[in-house]
Amino acid sequence: MMKTVTEYKDYRQYILDYYSERKRSSAFTWREFARLAGFASGSYLKLVCDGKTRLREEGAKKTASAMGLLGFEYDYFVLMVRYESAKTDREKKKCFEEMQALSAAHHVKILGSDLYTFYETWKHSVVRELAVAMPGAKPNEIAKVCRPAISAADVSDSLRFLLKSGLLERDIKGNYHQTNRSLSTGRLNVVVVAIHSLLRQMGEFALEALDKLPISERHFSGITMAVTAESYAKVVEEIAKFREKIVSIVAAENNPEKICRLNFQFFPLTENLNKGLEGLKKEE
């Protein structure tokens, strides 16, 4: 049986699953599907699912109707299409929050919404670590050690969210434990928008640490280098391996003394030099 539309983040996958489900029980074709949706090209929806073109707002509405979606499910499908078409993180964030509100109003849960909420602010990741590192601590005690400072109410709200979402659990003694030592977003592209927000926050904290903390309490270093597409990919791969090694080192510690953040930033400082040279050659 096909999943409900709110279990999807990728409208193309939903269309493909709908088509496959209809095809399984009838002689349904892409041409018939396109006709029902009012598209002139019989292969249009197939091209959409193959990633060779995309739906626009009007096409999303026609496709939703052709698939028999009504009410909030119809609106949710259109929002999925709008989300993918959004050009900025701010637009994507607005679309996803509308999807969340729509689902909450109809008492259904969006796959990945907990991780979206988790990554949207730095507070949840810090509280998740502190709750385990400070057994028996009250929210006001956890709040006092946070940098920058947050309120006891913020900590209480975060703890409730972490417990409700299953990112923390509590034993009979009242102590907190992480259900998973590390988290993965998997294929939930929607979470990327929240992660971008978190990275911006952590980047701002890094600048503050550079100015306010003594060298003994922070480590900053960097390399400026010339790379090719191949060496860039290799460096990214090495960073991923290094992250795994760091996680294994700290995972072995049972009595942490503080919560730290390690940022990885690898980005271009120039345009593509080869493209620039090609442009000069053309001008000559």
In whole angstroms, give the CA distance from residue 183 to residue 114: 12
Torsion of CA 159, 161, 165, 169, to 10 degrees: 10
How far apart (Å, rounded) are the C-alpha atoms in residues 147 and 210? 14
Residue 249 lies in a domain: no
Q: Which of 190, 205, 220 represents a domain boundary (last residue)?
A: 220
Q: Which two tokens stand for residue 263?
A: 């940022």
Q: Assign 33 a pLDDT band (cuts: 50, 70, 90).
A: very high
> Which pLDDT score, from 0 to 100, does residue 43 have?
93
Total structural domains within the chain: 2
pLDDT(19) > 70: yes
Alpha-carbon gap, residue 48 to 54, rounded angstroms: 5
Residues 134 and 95 in one domain: no
Say yes or no: 123 and 93 in one domain: no
Verify that 185 and 135 share a domain, yes or no: yes
pLDDT value at position 189? 55
Give the residue numbers spanning the domain of 40: 5-107
Residue 186: is its pLDDT beyond 50? Answer: no
- 96-130 pLDDT per residue, tens: 888 878 877 776 655 566 777 888 888 998 999 99
pLDDT greater at residue 277 or residue 42: 42
State percent of the chain over pLDDT 90.
39
Residue 183 in domain: yes
The whole-angstrom separation of Cα 174 and Cα 178 is 13
End-of-domain residue from the set 78, 107, 136: 107
What mean pLDDT is reported for the chain? 85
pTM (whole model) above 0.75? no
| Segment 227-271, tens digit of pLDDT | 998 999 999 999 988 988 888 888 777 788 888 999 988 988 888
| Percent above pLDDT 70 for the chain | 89
Is the pLDDT higher at 99 or at 67? 67
Assess whether 71 and 12 both reside in one domain: yes
